[in-house]
Every structure is written in C-alpha cells, then in structure tokens.
Chain A
Amino acid sequence: MACTAIAIALLRNLVAVVMLGGIFSLLSAAMFVVLDAVDVAFTEAAVGAGISTMLLLATLSLTTTQEKQPRRPVEKLPAHRQPWLPLAVVAVTGAALVYGSLDMSRYGDPDAITNRHVVPRYIEKTVEETGVPNVVTSVLASYRGYDTLGEVTVIFTAGIGVILLLGTWRRTARRRRERSDAP
C-alpha cells in the first residue's frame, strides 16, 4: 500500500494515478478483510475500487489526462522558495497522527473502552430485538437508523448537486447555442 501511495504522489499521468488509486482501494479492502470487517471491505471494494475509479476516469475524459507541469522544476528553484512549509505541515501532521495512535487500545481487545459501552448490548440483543443475525446490518439500519438516513441524504444531495451543476448547465448552453443559431 505504501508503494502505491508513493507512486501516486510521484506520477504525473492522471490515468495511471486513478488506476493506482483503485489498486490502493482494493488493497485497503483486503486489509479490512484481514481485520474481519467484511462489510467495510465490501463497501471499499465496490465504492472505492469500482465506482469512484470509474467516475474519476469519466472526469478525466472531460478535463485532461496529464498533470500540469510547474513553470520551473523544483530543483531549479532558489533555496528560499523550496516547498519547506508544506513538507513541515505534512511531517508534523503525520507525527501527530502517529502520536495519537500510541494511546489506542490493542486491536480486538474486549476490555477496550470503545468495546465496553454499547457494543456488548448490541451483540447480545441483536437477534432477540431485531431478528437480524448480521450485527452490522442491525446497528446500521436499526440502532443507528438516523445516521444511515443522514448518509442516504448525503448521497441524495450529491446526485442533486451533479444534476444541478452539469445537467442543467448543458441544457441551457444548448438552448443558448440554438438561440444564437436561429437568426
């Protein structure tokens, strides 16, 4: 996964970047399977590796497949204009994330604080209360129904946004073109 990420950062051909992004998603899905999170892995494989790669390729077909070259290559920039600040921001953020992960409990620890709050109740009562053996589904659709409603609304909003931005613009442009052609 690290190799794919570094290759994505270095490449300038955007089609290859999108492809590597899909491979990265597929590797993440494999990682989720190893972590026993099959539902998440399924979503990652279908959405991350499948649809979003497809949509990014469709976007590339509308724009361009090559990343723009900087006017002057980084090596030729004077020392005070080298991108030190972005490097520092990335390094500090990465260090902070690693530092934050040091406090995390061991993976799958039943005594971890996140696994003691509502998790045992969900696992024990799911079949009794909802009749659904898959705990992920019952938590997603029943215990946390509001959250899922919010997620669906987000997807709905995304669809409406795309229709409003691209769908309508195209029709008005065509109408304008027709109107200018008419006289």
Chain B
Amino acid sequence: MKEHLVLRVVTKFLMPFILLFALYVQFHGDYGPGGGFQAGVIFGSAFILYALIFGVPALQRILPRGILRLGIAGGVLIYACVGVAGLLLGANYLDYSPLAHDPPHGQHLGILLIEFGVGLTVSCVMVTIFVTFAGWRR
C-alpha cells in the first residue's frame, strides 16, 4: 500500500493519537471504563495499522521481534512478580495491600502495576500474531 499517499499521511497523523488514547485507557482504567486488556489491544492496533500501510519490514525496524517477545513474557512476569512481592511482604499472593504505606494506596499501586503487565502482554501478543500471520508466505 506504499503508493496511497492519503493513507500514509493519515496513518502518520493518527498514530500518536491512537497511542495516546491507549495510554489514557491504560492509566485511567481505575476511574473510567477501560484497563489493561482494552489498552493493550488499542496500543497493538496502532502498530498493526502501521504494518498494514508501511509493510511488515518497516514495523520490524521500529519494533524488532526480540522486543515483542520480551514484552510478551515481561507482562506476565510483572503480574506474577507483583503477586510474589505481596507474598514476601507478609500477605497472601496477589494481595497488594502491603505494597505502600497504607492498604488502599498499596491496592492502587498493585492494580496499576498489574494492569500495566496485562497491557504489555496483550499489545505484544496482538502485534506478534499479526506480524507472524502477515509475514508468513506459502
């Protein structure tokens, strides 16, 4: 699709807004609708749009495969580690209360961290699935 000037310009124009909206959904999920899953999908779809318009090799230049795989594993790891951190600080697994000076703040921090882990894994998996499908040639 390299010859479609309108699509290329519009994509370049829209990319930052899609990414910004994804970050808003990610970190505002505590107060409004949204959270890690939705934000991850929106974040991933921005890169999928980029790959659709500029081609998979261009995407792999800005987002190498190694980083994607690191993100896939890293998100789950962040989630599990937050749980273990609670365990080490003397609470149950995935109880975030002891993470800060008082339980509500600890819970808030824990939710923020695990939502970040969810978003990281989901966005990297979505981009990886698309890149693997689109880069696969018979």
A residues engaging B (CB < 8 A)?
Answer: 38-39, 41-43, 46-47, 50-51, 54-55, 58-59, 61-62, 128-134, 136-138, 140-142, 145-146, 148-149, 151-153, 155-156, 158-160, 162-163, 166-167, 170
Shortest Cβ distance from residue B91 to the other chain A in the assembled complex, whole angstroms: 12
Shortest Cβ distance from residue A72 to the other chain B in the assembled complex, whole angstroms: 30
Flag if A148 contacts B114 (CB, 8 Å): yes
Flag if B33 contacts A155 (CB, 8 Å): no
Which B residues lie within 8 Å of A134 (CB)? 29-33
Q: How distant is the Cα of A145 from the Cα of B96 in the complex, in angstroms?
A: 10
- Asked if B128 CB lies within 8 Å of chain A CBs, one says yes
Q: Is the interface of A mostly helix, strand, loop or mixed?
A: helix
Chain B 35-54 interface 0/1 with A at a Cβ cutoff of 8 Å (1 = within): 11110011011001000000
Flag if B115 contacts A166 (CB, 8 Å): no
Which B residues lie within 8 Å of A58 (CB)? 130, 133-134
Flag if B111 contacts A50 (CB, 8 Å): no
Flag if A132 contacts B45 (CB, 8 Å): no
Flag if B118 contacts A167 (CB, 8 Å): no
Q: A54-B48, A153-B76, A156-B121 are in contact. Are A163 and B132 (CB under 8 A)?
A: yes
Flag if A148 contacts B118 (CB, 8 Å): yes
* Beta-carbon nearest neighbor of B29 in chain A: A137
Q: A39-B33, A130-B108, A155-B125 are in contact. Are A142 and B118 (CB under 8 A)?
A: no
Shortest Cβ distance from residue B121 to the other chain A in the assembled complex, whole angstroms: 5
Give chain B interface residues in 70-104, CB to chain A under 8 Å.
72-73, 75-76, 79-80, 83, 94, 96, 103-104
- Asked if B69 CB lies within 8 Å of chain A CBs, one says yes
Which A residues lie within 8 Å of B30 (CB)? 132-134, 137
B residues engaging A (CB < 8 A)?
Answer: 25, 29-38, 41-42, 44-45, 48, 69, 72-73, 75-76, 79-80, 83, 94, 96, 103-105, 107-108, 110-111, 114-115, 117-118, 121-122, 124-126, 128-130, 132-138
Flag if A131 contacts B105 (CB, 8 Å): yes
Q: A133-B30, A145-B83, A162-B132 are in contact. Are A54 and B45 (CB under 8 A)?
A: yes
* Beta-carbon nearest neighbor of B52 in chain A: A54
Which A residues lie within 8 Å of B134 (CB)? 58, 61
Q: Nearest 10 pairs between A and B by C-beta? A: A159-B125, A131-B104, A130-B107, A145-B94, A58-B133, A38-B33, A46-B41, A141-B111, A131-B108, A132-B30
> Max chain B CB contacts within 10 Å: which of A47, A137, A142?
A137
- One of A42, A54, A138, A167 near B33 (C-beta < 8 A): A42
Flag if A166 contacts B132 (CB, 8 Å): yes
27 pairs, CB–CB < 8 Å, chain A vs chain B: A39-B38, A42-B25, A42-B33, A43-B38, A43-B41, A46-B38, A46-B42, A47-B41, A51-B48, A58-B134, A129-B103, A129-B104, A129-B107, A134-B31, A136-B33, A138-B107, A141-B35, A141-B36, A141-B111, A142-B110, A149-B80, A152-B76, A152-B79, A153-B76, A159-B124, A162-B133, A166-B136
